Amino acid sequence: MALSLSISGVGAISSATGGPIGRLSFSRSRFSSRSFAEVIANDKPILVSYRGEIFAPVAKFYPETAFGGDFKTEADYKDPVVQCLIATGGVEGCFDEPEEIIDAVAAGTYAEDGFEKGWALWPLIPYSFDTPVNQPGAAPLPPSSHNWLGTDDRKRDVVARVIYGFRLSILFTLIVTTLASVIGIIAGAIQAISAVGSTLFFSA
């Protein structure tokens, strides 16, 4: 697991966005509503460039057919076929030998009819809280470059689960603090009003 955001396909975003990037295929409001945890740890790319269009899988559902695949179910972005389709712009050869084509694209030696380079920007941690880790060995796995704190007994990345758990804990804390403050303010106001009323009654 690299210590920086990784880009698969064509390489750096700066070079990929030098030309027209097409229309944005996601809603800004939906993208901005996504939590920080989902941008840091997720099994879906943050952004995908496919045939001149920008997609945001962390914010929106996209079927495999959106990237030249066969199925209308959500794209499995870790599937070599889907990765090849994104990297090549939907070249048919991806259904036969996706890994070889991905290597050729990365090496800059791939050239076929209909080929158009694409890329995928992945989160810092390419796992969600419930994503099974596809690494050899019996669970729980020890810490490694792929899983900084290892995995749990169901082969789920511990760092990803800590991040999502922290988000839930902070949300719960904010809710409890807000409710306690509101109840305290109301109770204090009632006591103050009662005290003022009692003072006026006895002074009269």
Strand order of the β-sheet with 53-55 is 6-9, 119-122, 47-50, 53-55
What are the tens digits of pLDDT across the range 32-77? 445 788 999 999 999 999 999 999 999 999 999 999 999 999 999 9
Alpha-carbon distances of 172 from 69, 112, 166, 177, rounded to whole Å? 41, 53, 10, 9
Q: Which residues pair with 53 in a beta bridge?
A: 50
Contact 156, 129 (CB under 8 A): yes
Residue 103: partners with Cβ closer than 8 Å, 6 or more residues away = none
> Is the pLDDT confidence value at 111 over 80?
yes
Q: Please give the torsion angle defined by the CA atoms of residues 118, 20, 110 and 15, in that order, rounded to the nearest 10 degrees.
A: -80
Mean pLDDT of 79-104: 96
* Choice among 146-150, 168-172, 196-200 with the minimum mean pLDDT: 196-200
* Cβ atoms of residues 48 and 55 within 8 Å: yes
pTM above 0.85, yes or no: no
- Spacing of C-alpha 193 from chain mean position: 51
pLDDT 10s digits, 139-164: 899 999 989 999 999 999 999 999 99
For residues 176-185, average pLDDT: 93
179-186 mean pLDDT: 93
